[in-house]
Amino acid sequence: MKAAVLHEAGGIPRYEDFPDPVAGDGEVIIDVKAVAVENVDKAIAAGTHYASEKYIGRFPAIPGFDGIGALPDGTLVGFGGIRLPYGALAQKAVVSQGSYVRIPDGIDPAVVAVMASAVTAMSMRTAAGFVPGETVLVQGATGVAGRLAVKVARLLGAGRIVATGRDDDQLREVQAIGADAVINTAVSDEALAQAYLDTRGDGYDVVVDYLWGRPSEILLRALVPRSFAFAKPTRVVQIGESAGAELALAGSSLRTSGVEIYGAAKGLDPQTMDEAYQQIVTWTRAGELTFDVEQVPLSDIETAWQRTDLKGRRLVVMP
């Protein structure tokens, strides 16, 4: 079969022949139809992610830990549970029996491949308890997941949405899809802190944070009251760390600001995960939630892997 083959950590996958997988006891062969390539896939392939050893523990290896494909009987499923070295970026993958779920009817497999990013955005409700009418700040709104978070916030009934990013042109696009106000984070610390204050209106109820690092550190510092006050609660959902894995958190940022910080997995269990997924499916089928995807053939993986021009579109590889 043909596959995207990685020969070393940090290398570029190459379109090459690779031995067909053979199913063992308790395994099934998947005919792969669509695989979304995200930052986490590249971090794993680079050997810098905590799961790198699990998914590329030996070389040569095929990157990608999940995707959309067909069972031997033709049923379309979303799959995980791959067995090394057979990752998802290939014509075929081998997975554990049951490590797949049937995908919704009537939705393009390329779209289903990226729906997980929208489910993550639902953490504003599952983790932070968002209720309609509240103000949502999306930190890192120009990326794929951030744009979806803006759309999800609007569909959930946000009263006001503020979005941050580093590119004015992309921020204008984010306004066009639902943000009421935008903040460019590529300014001085003082200017950014003031922008957070100037744009907060009656206060940020929920912060959906894909950035962490410097912008979030400045935000948390800016939310500290300048005088004694009963601060309005601000529930921060930590999802990503594209601006940095760490930040300095002063005690006052929690003690007097009303800030509450949650991880994106808070509140998740099989029931809440299914409810979030089904809501995304409903919006998608109705055309209320749309996904910007860039489909490329597997044969173009070497070039596609290195692309930096996607600007809010998710790369989806079609074997």
pLDDT in tens, 253-280: 888 888 999 999 999 999 999 999 999 9
Name which of 237, 210, 214, 65 is nearest 144 in CA terms.
210
CATH 3.90.180.10, the chain: domain bounds: 2-103+291-317, 115-263
The tokens of 58 are what? Answer: 């030996």
- Averaged pLDDT, 237-241: 95
Q: What's the pLDDT score for residue 253?
A: 85
Q: What's the pLDDT score for residue 27?
A: 96
Count of CB atoms situated within 10 Å of the CB of 286: 9
The single-letter DSSP state of residue 82 is B
Q: Dihedral through CA 152, CA 139, CA 50, CA 316, nearest 10?
A: 50
Spatial separation of the C-alpha atoms in residues 294 and 277, rounded to whole Å: 22
Q: What's the pLDDT score for residue 40?
A: 85
Fold (topology level) of 115-263? Quinone Oxidoreductase; Chain A, domain 1 (3.90.180)
CB under 8 A, 24+ apart: contacts of 187-196? 189/214, 189/218, 192/218, 193/218, 193/219, 193/221, 193/222, 194/222, 196/222, 196/223
Q: Residue 125 is which amino acid?
A: R
Spatial separation of the C-alpha atoms in residues 254 and 223, rounded to whole Å: 9
Query: What does pLDDT average to over the chain?
Result: 94
Question: Between 60 and 255, whose confidence is greater?
Answer: 60
Q: What's the pLDDT score for residue 100?
A: 93
Q: Residue 123, SS3?
A: helix
Tens-digit pLDDT profile for residues 180-236 = 999 999 999 999 999 999 999 999 999 999 999 999 999 999 999 877 667 789 999
Q: Which CATH superfamily is domain 2-103+291-317 in?
A: Medium-chain alcohol dehydrogenases, catalytic domain (3.90.180.10)
- Averaged pLDDT, 33-52: 89
Q: What's the pLDDT score for residue 138?
A: 98
The tokens of 297 are what? Answer: 């053939």
Farthest-apart Cα atoms in the chain, separation: 67
Q: What is this structure's pTM?
A: 0.91
